[in-house]
Amino acid sequence: MLLAIIPARGGSKSIKKKNLALLGDKPLLYYTIKAAKESKCIQEIIVSSEDEEILEYANNQGVSILKRPKELAQDTSRSDEVVEYCLKHYPNYEEFVLLQPTSPFREAAHIEQAYRKFQEENAQSLISVCTYEKTILKAFILNEKGYLKGICNDSFPFMPRQELPEVFMANGAIYLGKTKDFLKNLTFLAKQTSYFLMDTQSSLDIDEPSDLKRANEILKEKK
């Protein structure tokens, strides 16, 4: 049984009340709730928030709500802490999917395809990703003495780009996990973590006002 967790806190520095900011004529949160409700693999959906307005909106959308403590709704709060809190309140689900409202173009089909891959590969967890520029592997960081070292190793910075391995970036849209494994290790990156590749548009993450503007442009193009 699969539990969908939608974390939607009220605070946001970049966009005020971001999860209720309008995308088209609907709040941003609407699109993730809609995708979850249309996903045939999900048995229950919960929206976790400290904000009464968000909880009321989610309740009116016909999904379960879970008020979280304010200490789990800060800028420094981590997603794994929120998921842990939710899973302890909903202990009867063997698997969960974390769906962040900041990914409005992640659709039900993406969730279903990712879940199918997760099951077929018998993975402990799955993270949705998009491709990333390989040349990041040529970058340097400083070691403890302040000298340069390769970000991954000391070979990649000097290798031809064509010989570098593929690079993927988590896009924040889908995190799948097994409840027992997650509660034991408190990480989305288990030893056997699969991936689900998504295109650039579907991977759009709403972080800054410019992202919301771009999302509105995409929405108009889709109509």
Vertex 127, ends 28 and 84: CA angle to 5°? 75
Tell me, what's the pLDDT at 186? 93
Tell me, what's the pLDDT at 162? 93
Is residue 86 within 8 Å of 147, Cβ to Cβ?
Answer: no
Domains of the chain are: 2-130+168-222 (3.90.550.10)
- Give per-residue pLDDT as tens, 199-218: 999 999 999 999 999 999 99
CA-CA-CA-CA torsion sign (64, 66, 67, 70): negative
- The proportion of the chain whose per-residue pLDDT surpasses 70, expressed as a percent, equals 100
Tell me, what's the pLDDT at 14? 82
- Give per-residue pLDDT as tens, 91-123: 999 999 999 999 999 999 999 999 999 999 999
List of the chain residues with pLDDT < 70: 223
Tell me, what's the pLDDT at 222? 80
In Å, what is the CA distance from 59 to each residue of 26, 50, 166? Answer: 16, 14, 42
Tell me, what's the pLDDT at 155? 96
| Strands of the chain, DSSP E | 2-7, 22-23, 26-27, 44-49, 64-67, 95-98, 125-132, 140-142, 148-150, 167-178, 193-197
Phi, psi of 21 (to 5 degrees): -65, 145
